[in-house]
Structure 1
Amino acid sequence: MSVITEHSTITCPECGHQSTDEMPTNACQWFYDCKGCGAVLKPKAGDCCVYCSYGDVKCPPIQEGRACCG
């Protein structure tokens, strides 16, 4: 059984600001407001959520090998 990491550090592609947040375990987060510049981040094409696109840790469902929000 693997340990699921519930926190991820998002790096804003616009300003480089980093913020560590707790990820939701039961839903995808499709939008994220950068705490540095206010940019609204959305997942990159092919990613299920902002944590999979901009975080240093993928979301919990992906860590478990499941489809995110599927």
Structure 2
Amino acid sequence: MTEATPILQSTLTCPECGHRQTETMPTDSCQFFYECKACGKVFRPRPGDCCVFCSYGTVPCPPIQLGRGCC
């Protein structure tokens, strides 16, 4: 049985200035911090989310996509 292939590109939207940036998500770790390329704001996941991609991205992180839960 083959496992689904997760989508690795997600577009993050800065909660401070609204800037959107497409990034490649790591497959072997969670990303807890992200610095906006436009305003420099460093942001973290919302309470209850495992990473910035799950909070601010267009696609959740690979472990969540695969139904494994996150880090």
The TM-score with structure 1 as length reference comes to 0.94
Take 2:63 and 2:5, find their aligned partners in 1: how far apart are those partners?
A: 12
Determine what percentage of the aligned residue pairs are the same residue. 61
| Residue of 29, 35, 38 corresponding to 1:36 | 38
Instruction: Kindly state the Cα deviation for residue 49 of structure 1 after the two structures are TM-superposed.
Output: 0.1
Instruction: Kindly state the Cα deviation for residue 67 of structure 1 after the two structures are TM-superposed.
Output: 1.4
Write out aligned runs for 1:11-50 (5 A): 11-50=13-52
Aligned-CA RMSD value: 0.8
Take 1:68 and 1:36, find their aligned partners in 2: how far apart are those partners?
A: 28
Q: After the TM superposition, list the runs of 4 or more consecutive aligned residues in structure 1 that deviate by more than 3 angstroms.
A: none
Residues matched between the structures, number: 69
The TM-score with structure 2 as length reference comes to 0.93
Take 1:2 and 1:23, find their aligned partners in 2: how far apart are those partners?
A: 16
Take 1:3 and 1:27, find their aligned partners in 2: how far apart are those partners?
A: 16
Gaps in structure 1 of 5+ consecutive residues: none
Take 1:61 and 1:3, find their aligned partners in 2: how far apart are those partners?
A: 11
What whole-Å deviation, never above 9, does each CA across 1:14-66 have from its counterpart, x for those lacking one? 10000000000000000000001000010000000000000000000000001
2:59 maps to: 57
